[in-house]
Amino acid sequence: MKLTHYPLASSTWGHEEIDAMQKVISSGKFTMGEKVREFEEEFAKSVGSRYSVMVNSGSSANLILLTAGKYLSEPLFHQGAEIIVPAVSWSTTYYPVNQIGCRLSFVDVELDSLNIDPVKIISAITPKTKAILAVNLLGNACNLIELKKIANNYGLHLLEDNCESLGGTLEGKSLGTFGIGGTYSSFFSHHISTMEGGLITTDSEELYQVMKSIRAHGWTRDLPEENYLFNKTGEEWEDLFRFVLPGYNLRPLELEAAVGIEQLIKLPSFISVRRENALLFQEIMQEFPDFQIQSQFGDSSWFGFSLILKGSLRGKRQEFVRHLTAQGIESRPIVAGNFTKNPVIKHLDHVPIPDLPVADEIHRNGLFVGNHHYDLSEQLNHLRGVLRKFVGKESKL
């Protein structure tokens, strides 16, 4: 009997993306140009934001957003400022905080949503706290309404790492648009794929212009004649090579943007199918009380399906992973688990780390399996059978 293969990620491309790439190749224009501008405009429109900036990865999106926050006319944070982050996320949520000279302040998450716990944020705020970097994990919204209230009450800035949650909404508003800026990834395994790629959205024209400058060398070339950084002189030869900020080279490719335009057209159908798959997954998991799954806050875009072993299964994740793998089901940790457990923490500047019992539980007993843009009935019913075998085995121990 053929073993059902249930992968973590799959290609979302069709002939439309290949045709779009061929047109770019024929044009001879490969780096940031008209296709990037078109994709940025369409992306901003799709999430209900005024501006969008495309970069070469979601990691770079976090870097450029945080860096730009230092160079506004009224900076969001200064050297040594503390930025509150959830203890469960990906590495490049955290690294840019240190790379701009700020300190990480880790806060525990909620076991049901997997997202930052608003109650724990309050106790983490100090006179040096300047921002909350919220992460919408696995397609699911943080309690962004409460986070905005906290930010307003304590004079903090709210930013969103939405790299895993394109298409998710809360009270009808797109995730990634609740704070000053929001970041997205279009890496292969994400809701849309441009090979590598990332974006930042904002409603602030000044932040938009600062990010455009930082994206490409810190120059003014891509800015309007009159701008927030340094007005152009009208001498084109000089204006093309005027540097005003310590920037990077995070430019995306025209090939990536051309693919992104086609992927955006398909995104609503991708999200719709992911949500249909989630309904079946939720139904199946009602049979297995010793697994906790992620609860929705708002309307999730279901990046993947998390499982936390509890009850009689607690502490048996390694055995469970082997069982899944043997049955053709790929899995991985929930993002990076409790990130403070990674050895790299010794290289990161952070305030004293509090007890993080929920993040620890996710770190020891959590994992997730994939969700996709196509019907997963076969794979999910296979997962049901695999879970039955594993739970049956456990009940005999």
Per annotation, catalytic residue among 5, 157, 190, 217: 190
Tokens of 161: 């790492």
Tokens of 80: 């040594």
Which among 364, 380, 376 is positioned nearest to 288, based on CA atoms? 380
Do β-strands 169-170 and 173-174 pair in parallel, antiparallel, or remain unpaired? antiparallel
Pairwise CA distance, residues 159 & 120, whole Å: 17
Pairwise CA distance, residues 73 & 326, whole Å: 56
The answer to whether 190 is a known catalytic residue is yes
Chain centroid to CA 40: 17
Strand partners, 201: 52, 182
Which runs of consecutive H residues, i.e. helices, occur in the chain? 15-27, 34-47, 58-69, 91-99, 118-124, 144-154, 205-215, 236-239, 254-285, 317-326, 357-365, 377-395
Pairwise CA distance, residues 96 & 178, whole Å: 20
Close Cβ partners of 374 (under 8 Å, ≥ 6 residues apart): 10, 273
- Starting at the earlier edge strand, list the strands of the sheet with 82-86: 51-55, 198-202, 181-185, 157-161, 129-135, 82-86, 103-107
Residue 217, helix vs strand vs coil:
coil
Q: What is the CA radius of gyration of the chain?
A: 22
Tokens of 289: 């009380």
Pairwise CA distance, residues 294 & 175, whole Å: 17
Q: Which residues are catalytic?
A: 190
